[in-house]
Amino acid sequence: MTAIAAATAASTLAACGGSDDGGGDGGGGGDAGANEASDIGITEDSIKLGAHFPLTGVAAPGYSEIPTGADAYFDCLNEAGGVNGRTIDYIYRDDAYNPTTTSQVVNQLVLEDEVFAIVGGLGTPTHSAVLDFLNSEGVPDLFVSSGSLLWGADPETNPYTFGWQTDYESEGKIIGEYIAENFPDAKVGLFLQDDDFGEDGEAGIRQYIDDQIVAAERYTPGNTNVGPQIAALQAAGADFVVGFNVPSYTALSQLTALQLGYDPQWFYSNVGSDPTLVGNLLNNFSQGQVSDASLLDGALTTDYLPTVDEPDNPWVQEFQRIWDECGGEGELTNYRIYGMAQAYTTVQALQAAGQNPTRDDLVEAIEIAGGDWEGPVLAPFRYSEESHMGTAGMSISRITGDTTEQVEPVQLTDIGDAPIEPYDGEPAEVPENGIPNEESVID
């Protein structure tokens, strides 16, 4: 509701802004000291950003919280003065995880709301639907909320699009190497979503433990009966199951395994493993024989951001402060941390793009400076002219009750046959007010 209201108020503003050139007028980054309406969506005192998220429907649990985190971050940022004296006007719209709706709302954001950039649009099938549109319109398409290789592996075809989180193939490789080293005798079964997500993950993991894999079962999102798939993993004798699946299917796979008396070592990829969300999903069953979160006890997972169960982490503390001061109802969750961390990177990009950036300046700034940015993410980004891939690494942790304990520190890698190496960098310091301070790299 707030998003729609914001949109109406904002489109009036945009009409006054009245910049009708398509960018590239070279007015960006001037050091004259005065703010100008340097491109579509930028006025002297505001920058308009748009996003699409599933706020309703199958994918809404968890994911609908991401934009509320980003919104809280931008609110606190605006109170502290914004970016170069401009406030961020953040508009997010509901696409219900339906690609047709995504096209519709992104059209609306670009053509009616006239946003400067799209930030954090969520989902592989959904965002694929607008990839060509955004790139042909020359709209910066920053930090897609999905680990598909589509966003960053081919910047020549999609020069305006950037990934953000660790891609699924690199994640698969890190998981594969971990299993090869720590569970060399395990018979591994794969539980995969039947699309890019599962395919990329499988490709990565097979690079390291192809000979240990005894079964690969695929489920189709929407088909909630995973009985045959879980039974097949059991029948193949898999005693270690790696899931590249979304959270609701983590819950379904756990329920089905319980039904079948199947008790392998579980390893859920980052996407499907949020213990709070899965616990909430299973909550009502606790009246029966399932005791909610404990079902995931002992499962392994990966991380590329600090999580809410690390209250001593300075980033989590800062995000907690932001959520308390500028957030809405509810608790700080891992999804909200995700949204805030993404907003943090967005502010780094805007700062690096200079005082009066054009859309092309923003893209150039990320390519030049993005690889050096530090922040809440555990591993550096891979941004350059050749790659628009997001962060390069992950750590591995074990879920114990409501918390997690790290079992392997951050490992770095890349797509293809890039090696896996331990990351030797230190965690980044939290800047004042949680607001980054990047130099402009555009002159």
Binding-site member from 1, 20, 184, 289 for other proteins (CB under 8 A)? 289
**Residue from the set 170, 245, 248, 250 that interacts with other proteins by CB under 8 A:** 248
CA distance 25 to 360: 10
Pairing of the two strands 117-119 and 46-53: parallel
Q: Which residues of 354-391 are buried (b: 16+ CB within 10 A; e: fewer)?
A: bbbbbbbbbbbbbbbbbeebbbbbbbbbbbeeebbbbb
In the complex with other proteins, which residue's Cβ is closer, 12 or 287? 287
Segment (H or E) for 174: helix 168-182
CB atoms within 10 A of CB 344: 24
- Stretch touching other proteins by CB under 8 A, among 204-212, 230-238, 347-355, 432-440: 230-238
**How far is the CA of 341 from the CAs of 48, 63, 169, 209, 335, in angstroms?**
18, 14, 22, 33, 10
Distance between CA 255 and CA 244 in Å, rounded?
17
Among 255, 296, 332, 412, binds other proteins (CB under 8 A): 255
Q: Which is nearer to other proteins, 2 or 182 (CB)?
A: 2
Taking CB under 8 A as the binding criterion, the range among 17-25, 110-118, 249-257, 403-411 that sits at the site for other proteins is 249-257
Q: Determine which residue in the list 27, 57, 159, 371 makes contact with other proteins, applying CB under 8 A.
A: 57
Q: Is 235 in the site for other proteins (CB under 8 A)?
A: yes
Helices (H), 159-307: 168-182, 196-209, 227-235, 247-260, 275-281
The verdict on 295 binding other proteins (CB under 8 A) reads no
Minimum distance from residue 241 beta carbon to other proteins (Å):
16
Told to check if 56 binds other proteins by CB under 8 A, we report yes
- Distance, in Å, from the CA atom of 24 to the CA atom of 140, rounded to the nearest integer, reads 13
Is position 228 an interface residue for other proteins (rule: CB under 8 A)?
A: yes
Q: Is 187 in the site for other proteins (CB under 8 A)?
A: no
Compute the residue count for the chain. Answer: 443
Least distance between other proteins and beta carbon 97 (Å): 12
Return the residue of 100, 157, 224, 291 that touches other proteins, per CB under 8 A.
224
Instruction: Please report, as ranges, the residues that interact with other proteins according to CB under 8 A.
Output: 56-58, 60-61, 194, 218-220, 222-229, 231-232, 234-235, 248, 251-252, 255, 258-261, 281-285, 287-290
